[in-house]
Amino acid sequence: MKFATKAIHAGIEPDPGTGAVMTPIFQTSTYAQSAPGVHHGYEYARTQNPTRSALEKNLAALENGVDAICFSSGLAAQDAVIKLLKAGDEVLAVNDLYGGSYRQMVRVWGNWGLKSRFVDMYNADNVAKEISPDTKLIWIETPTNPMLNIVDIQAVCAIARKHGIITCVDNTFASPYLQNPLDLGADIVLHSATKYIGGHSDVVHGCLIVKDAELAQRLHFIQNACGAVPGPQDCFLILRGIKTLHLRVQRACENAAAVAQYLANHPKVAKVHWPGFASHAGHEIAKRQMRMFGAMVSFDLKDNSMENATRVMSRTELFTLAESLGGVESLIGHPASMTHASIPREERLKVGLTDSLIRLSIGVEDADDLIADLEQAIG
């Protein structure tokens, strides 16, 4: 089955009890048993819920995995992956990533004996040099948030496999429509489904997808034992969002290409970060591992004072100034004070995340209107 067909049909069957075509919201915490242990496969809703099961089957199909494990947020999904490790183990993570991912590794798991190091992965050979005997997990995010750098998933996962190290790819910025890391050798794919997968900025949700049944069992154990599960209403909203995932992402990518080109030609813009440009350092890798170049764009103005960046971010009318991304509506954000404030400034500057960097999440509106809005805001 091809992607668009899977988005609509994988894991979705009419409800056997009623014939309901759309997966019902099973708003129940528990299930009747006719005798102890005699039931329909569902005992207690932290462990299993039919709405969540349908979503997990669908997500597994979208990422070409064998199973998916759903969580109450993207960061809860990350938390479950790190619980595969033990004190003294090390995570080698890409040095440009969502601020909340960094914060959890350093400020929460650091207290429990996890070591995390953030390294340049844009040249895969550098990863081989950075691996230590304690490295047990390699954490890739690509394209990265917010600099839109590209990591060669296949090359890094091949190095990890040689050393027996688990790889997890945060595929949030690409979405499963653009990129499928399991096919490129990754062990685990993570999504903040809050973003493109949900697609409507109305639900917080996370998921992991794996291709190994035993790893799936370990993660389902953590899901049930630790309990950061999503409710059935949230799973329903994610299932509903997925039905148009391919259409939304395709349109958003086309819009992003037009906006990125417009910004690159603007006399007041210094630098535009978007992997679709032939001049982008990761362009050839992106062409190989992604279907399109994504709908996230970040840029610096020539007058890169905070006053000027603030002026632009406050003046947009269609682009809403807000955290998050991947919804149908376009958003504008300021990583240094919003999504990446928890990363120390010196670390941010090392990867080019300036105090005045502006990040855009391009939605599915008309590209001409988005460009006109930026035109009046940049002035």
Residue 42 annotated to the active site: no
For 44, which DSSP code?
B
> Is 57 annotated as catalytic?
no
Query: Cα(278)–Cα(280) distance, rounded to whole angstroms?
Result: 6
Annotated active-site residue 79? The verdict is no
Among 308, 320, 324, 342, binds ligand P1T (CB under 6 A): 324
Per the structure block, which two tokens stand in for 196? 């493109």
Size of the site for ligand P1T (CB under 6 A): 19
| 170: annotated active-site residue | yes
Q: Which residues of 124-163 are buried (b: 16+ CB within 10 A; e: fewer)?
A: beebeebbeeebbbbbbbbbbbbbbbbbbbbbbbebbeee
Contact set for ligand P1T, span 115-144 (CB under 6 A): 141
CA distance 366 to 231: 34
Alpha carbon distance 112, 86 (integer Å): 9
Give the three-state DSSP class for 116.
strand
192 lies in the site for ligand P1T, by CB under 6 A: yes
Q: Which is nearer to ligand P1T, 12 or 207 (CB)?
A: 207
Provide the minimum distance between the beta carbon of 364 and ligand P1T in the complex, in angstroms, as a whole number.
18
Tell whether residue 323 is a contact of ligand P1T (CB under 6 A).
yes
- Which residue is listed with tokens 């899901």? 223
Looking at the Cβ atoms of 48 and 342, the one nearer to ligand P1T is 342
Q: Which of 15, 46, 83, 271 is catalytic?
A: 46
Cα angle value 47/102/351 (rounded, 5°): 145
> Whole-number minimum distance, CB 338 to ligand P1T, in Å?
7
**How many CA atoms within 13 Å lie on the side-chain side of 84?**
24
- Give the contact letters, 78-117, x = binds to ligand P1T (CB under 6 A), - = no: --------------------x-xx----------------
Helix and strand element counts for the chain (H, E): 13, 12
What Cα–Cα distance (Å) separates residue 324 from each residue in 205, 240, 275, 372? 12, 19, 20, 22
Binds ligand P1T (CB under 6 A): choice among 106, 204, 249, 309 = 204
CA–CA distance, 362 with 252 (Å, rounded to integer): 6
* Choice among 195, 248, 251, 359 that is catalytic: 195
Give me the 37-76 binding string for ligand P1T, x by CB under 6 A, dash otherwise.
------------------------------------xxx-
**Exactly one of 95, 167, 175, 194 binds ligand P1T (CB under 6 A); which one?**
194
- Residue span binding ligand P1T (CB under 6 A) among the ranges 34-42, 113-121, 122-130, 169-177: 169-177
Active site residues: 46, 98, 170, 195
Question: Which residues bind to ligand P1T, rule: CB under 6 A?
Answer: 73-75, 98, 100-101, 141, 145, 170, 172-173, 192, 194, 204, 206, 323-325, 339
